Amino acid sequence: MLKPKQMSRAVIVGHKNILEETVDALHKANLFHIEDFNEDGSDLKIGKPFEKGSEVSKRLVKIRSIASLLGVKDVAVAKQNPATVCSQLDSCLDTLDQELEVLVENKHALEAELKDIGSSKKEILPFTNLGLDLELYRGYENLVVFAGHVKENVEPDIARITSSYELFYDQKSGAIVLFVVREKAPQIAEVLAGTSFRESKIPDMTGSPSSLLVDLENREADISKKIQAIDTEIEALKLKYSDLILASNEVLSIEIEKAEAPLRIATTESSFIIDGWLPTDQYAELERTVNAATNGRAFVSSQEITKPDIKKVPIEYDNPKIVSPLQEIMNLYGRPTYKELDPSALIFITFPLLYGMILGDIGYALILLIGALIIKKVVSTDAVKPLMNILIYCQISTLFFGILYGEFLGFPLASYHGEHGIEPGLIPGFETLELFVSPFAAGEMIGFPLHRTHLVMTFIVATVFVGLIHLNLGYVVGFINEKRKHGISAAIFEKGSWIVVELGILLAVLGYLDMLPIIIGAIVFLVGVAMLVKGEGVKGPVELPSLLSNSLSYTRIIAVGLSSIYIASTVNLIAFEMMWQPGSPIGVMTIFAIVVFLFGHALNTALSIIAPGLHALRLQYVEFFGKFYEGGGRKYDPFGYIRKYTEEK
């Protein structure tokens, strides 16, 4: 806790003919982070992949393409024996591949046909209500046909030019077909161009449009059925083979990883050198594994970690299980470096605390807590679980603050005695316990529960104090970090100076309140600034105002909280007071009110994850981390694989 795992550097050397055994053993042990070898002009060369690699990768490509065509998803299945998986795969990979290819090709052809029919339908549709067979639209020597759409009847315009015409007009759809003698056609075209006429293409078919349309629709239904049949076939294939595909994908991925391992390793003509990292407490295990796999013919030696190496050490967290979900939040920002404190355990306390202070509502806490528990149970992927755990921690804290604030879905639970009389709470008879007048703002009464909406000033001041505590925690951690990296004097001047500055401001405030001579505060403050200049140069004093802006930034705890309360109480107001009076008979308005209530609170629940989460996160990242954290550590990524679908051989 508070420190990344102790790491050791190890080098494994051996003859090339035991390379494969060594790689196998390392992969199985899954604890050695291989440092990729770069050719550096010495006699060492990058190794060549094992021969089986190309064959394996071909099959892997095939398996993956099949998996994507079938839409095989990662699901939890019973683990299988890799040997049987391989033998099954040999026998059915090609047939499966061919079968699937035929199906997919057929499906594509049918889909293309479906598209054609769709466009034909669109062409025919305008002509269906005119009642003319399609062959009547063409093949005339002395007649010209205009077909299209109009917005209003154009007949009077045409009649003015010629009487030798025939017009079919469907008023409902605005479809129009006009037959005119050829010599009048240019004039007619001009007239039509001046109206709202839009020409449409006459479909190249024969027969009555409506019966053609019926035909097309029948064909469409037929093809849809065929596509459905293919889909069920594909689904059946997926059902039958998905276990095998998942398992073999895993087996092959492991094989390929092993086969390509020499590309990361330095070799000479007859020997190999594998350089890498592992947690110190597992060093003995590495030695034992390698020796067992090679009969002691490979030589494992530990290397001293030199100063330039420290930047390269891969980082593995060393946190108790309960804290580990918070590592996701660290990863989002960047892992700590090797010599730095790992703040996961601090975030484990402060992140849910700040989140809870912001949200603080029993109703939302319960909804989100139950939601998170259900999602955690149903979805078992590694990406979702830690997030749900973080959400659960946050909701426990929210529940605590919800009780403290006495809020349930935006309703106050207790009644409140204010200037405008008594406002009733949700629980009849639950009265606010008034304890003492707030020291920060006149007229604000502190008691239980705390009515946030009536204690705004008090909360603004209180949250700034919370911020100052959080920031100073950051300075203390920064002090420890700095001491570890550059010694005690650097720590005092760079981080301790900030605490002295704060102390100076505090003394000055006491001076302002006539409790001390103000000069003491000023002197301490100036000493602090001088230390800061020595520690950080000119940059230090320039950053001084950030002390104010950082601590004021914590007022977002009350600001975002209030916004959530006001959204919730607005929803409640609309639902209960504007739409439906409690006590009135149940009617349409009741249903409306329920819909508004559910929809509004669903929206606010979603916002309750996003807004407090983001702001709590920001307070960690910007205000807290800014005081001490560097980050940018490399991930410890051991050579190996965690099997999900197959058992270890």
Give me the residues that bind another protein (CB under 8 A), please: 331-334, 456-457, 460, 549, 552-553, 555-556, 559, 614-615, 617-618, 621-622
Among residues 16 and 618, whose Cβ is nearest to another protein? 618
User: How far lies 479's CA from each of 13, 625, 631, in Å?
Assistant: 42, 13, 16
Instruction: Round to whole Å and give the CA distance between 26 and 293.
Output: 9
Among residues 439 and 487, whose Cβ is nearest to another protein? 439
Residue 319 phi/psi, 5-degree rounding, is -120, 150
Residue 118 tokens, joined: 């769709």
Nearest approach in angstroms of CB 332 to another protein is: 3
Residue 147 tokens, joined: 């077909």
Nearest approach in angstroms of CB 334 to another protein is: 7
Residue 108 phi/psi, 5-degree rounding, is -60, -40
| Helix, coil or strand: residue 427 | coil
Nearest approach in angstroms of CB 352 to another protein is: 18
Among residues 138 and 635, whose Cβ is nearest to another protein? 635
Nearest approach in angstroms of CB 615 to another protein is: 7
Among residues 456 and 516, whose Cβ is nearest to another protein? 456
Among residues 463 and 497, whose Cβ is nearest to another protein? 463
Nearest approach in angstroms of CB 420 to another protein is: 16
Nearest approach in angstroms of CB 381 to another protein is: 17
- Hey, how many other C-beta atoms are within 10 angstroms of the C-beta on 444? 16
Nearest approach in angstroms of CB 579 to another protein is: 29
Contacts of 201 (CB under 8 A, 6+ apart): 123, 147
Contacts of 62 (CB under 8 A, 6+ apart): 93, 97
- Hey, how many other C-beta atoms are within 10 angstroms of the C-beta on 207? 12
Nearest approach in angstroms of CB 345 to another protein is: 19
Among residues 202 and 315, whose Cβ is nearest to another protein? 315
Among residues 332 and 442, whose Cβ is nearest to another protein? 332
Among residues 520 and 559, whose Cβ is nearest to another protein? 559
Nearest approach in angstroms of CB 637 to another protein is: 14
Among residues 255 and 342, whose Cβ is nearest to another protein? 342
| Helix, coil or strand: residue 509 | helix
Nearest approach in angstroms of CB 315 to another protein is: 15
Residue 13 phi/psi, 5-degree rounding, is -125, 140
CA dihedral 103, 105, 111, 112 (to 10 degrees): -160
- Hey, how many other C-beta atoms are within 10 angstroms of the C-beta on 548? 11
Helix boundaries (H) for 197-314: 209-259, 283-294, 307-310
Contacts of 294 (CB under 8 A, 6+ apart): 14, 18, 21, 22, 25
Among residues 63 and 359, whose Cβ is nearest to another protein? 359
Among residues 480 and 559, whose Cβ is nearest to another protein? 559
Nearest approach in angstroms of CB 456 to another protein is: 5
Among residues 385 and 618, whose Cβ is nearest to another protein? 618
From the CA atom positions of the chain, what is the Rg in Å?
38
What DSSP string describes 518-578? HHHHHHHHHHHHHHHHHHHTTHHHHTTHHHHHHHHHTTHHHHHHHHHHHHHHHHHIIIIII
CA 360, 363, 364, 368 dihedral sign is: positive
Instruction: Round to whole Å and give the CA distance between 244 and 79.
Output: 10
- Residues of 127-140 as b/e, b for ≥16 C-beta within 10 angstroms? bbebeeebeebeee
Nearest approach in angstroms of CB 632 to another protein is: 11
Instruction: Round to whole Å and give the CA distance between 548 and 621.
Output: 17
